[in-house]
């Protein structure tokens, strides 16, 4: 099946990593964890998950993957200051590959200037940031606009994961 990149930093929302990760694996996809520094271990904010970063943003290119997953929590806010991660996100968009971001994940989309004119959703506290960046924010389980797949919260993860898996096929 497809190769999928997962950008992850410390304090990610545990379930927003685990549920889509497991669903993508079960669908036969190969996943690569990309973060600020290859070899480091990042931890979920609830302490349930610890994940080893396999590559940095500068080590990988969008051309090697079919799609990008951005779990929420505080991870996207940490990663938005990493120029290589932001460049990688932009490269996925330029290549027309699906990008799935949940909860606070759209913060990384804002930094990559990918939400202007797009219909997206997120955790409610990110709404103002998204609208200030030119997005049309909606309160729904999953919002699809072009290659962007966004979702609000852990309760939406099954629909979010299904929409991403469908976009990869």
Angle at 7 between CA 140 and CA 133, to 5 degrees: 50
Q: What is the mean pLDDT of the chain?
A: 96
pLDDT band for 1, please (50, 70, 90 cuts).
Answer: confident
40-to-43, 47, 90, 101, 121 alpha-carbon distances in Å: 10, 16, 24, 22, 31
Q: Which residues of 40-59 are buried (b: 16+ CB within 10 A; e: fewer)?
A: eebebeeeebebebbbbbee
Mean local confidence (pLDDT), 1-25: 96
User: How much is the pLDDT for 64?
Assistant: 94
- Confirm if 142 and 160 have CB atoms less than 8 A apart: yes
pLDDT band for 99, please (50, 70, 90 cuts).
Answer: very high
pLDDT at residue 121 is higher than 90? yes
Q: For the purposes of burial, counting CB atoms within 10 Å of the CB of 83, is it exposed (0-12), middle (13-18) or buried (19 or more)?
A: exposed
Q: For the purposes of burial, counting CB atoms within 10 Å of the CB of 94, is it exposed (0-12), middle (13-18) or buried (19 or more)?
A: exposed
User: How much is the pLDDT for 61?
Assistant: 93
pLDDT at residue 111 is higher than 90? yes
pLDDT band for 30, please (50, 70, 90 cuts).
Answer: very high
Q: Which of 4, 24, 103, 109 is catalytic?
A: 103
Q: What are phi and psi of 143, to 5 degrees?
A: -120, 130
Please tell me the distance from the alpha carbon of residue 90 to that of residue 104, in angstroms, as a whole number: 17
Chain centroid, CA 50 distance in Å = 17
In the residue annotation, 103 being an active-site residue is answered as yes
Please tell me the distance from the alpha carbon of residue 28 to that of residue 83, in angstroms, as a whole number: 31
Chain centroid, CA 39 distance in Å = 20
Q: Where are the domains of the chain?
A: 3-168
User: What does CATH list as the number for 3-168?
Assistant: 3.40.50.880
Q: What is the largest CA-CA distance in the chain?
A: 38
pLDDT at residue 166 is higher than 90? yes
Instruction: State pLDDT tens for residues 31-82.
Output: 999 999 999 999 999 999 999 999 999 999 999 999 999 999 999 999 999 9
Q: What percent of the chain has pLDDT over 70?
A: 100
Mean local confidence (pLDDT), 121-142: 97
Assessment of whether the complete model's pTM goes beyond 0.85: yes
């Amino acid at each position: 099946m497809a190769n999928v990149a997962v950008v992850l930093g410390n304090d990610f929302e545990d379930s927003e990593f685990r549920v889509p990760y497991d669903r993508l694996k079960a669908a036969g996809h190969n996943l690569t964890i990309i973060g600020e520094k290859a070899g480091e271990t990042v931890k979920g904010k609830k302490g349930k998950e610890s994940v080893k970063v396999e590559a940095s943003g500068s080590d990988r290119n969008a051309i090697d993957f079919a799609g990008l997953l951005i779990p929420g929590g505080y991870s996207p806010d940490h990663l938005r200051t990493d120029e290589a991660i932001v460049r990688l996100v932009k490269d996925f968009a330029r290549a027309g590959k699906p990008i799935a971001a949940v909860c606070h994940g759209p913060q990384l989309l804002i930094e990559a200037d990918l939400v202007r004119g797009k219909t997206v959703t997120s955790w409610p506290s990110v709404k103002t940031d998204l609208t200030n960046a030119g997005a049309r924010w909606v309160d729904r389980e999953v919002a699809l606009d072009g290659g962007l797949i966004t979702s609000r919260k852990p309760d939406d993860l099954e629909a979010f994961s299904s929409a991403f898996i469908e976009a990869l096929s």
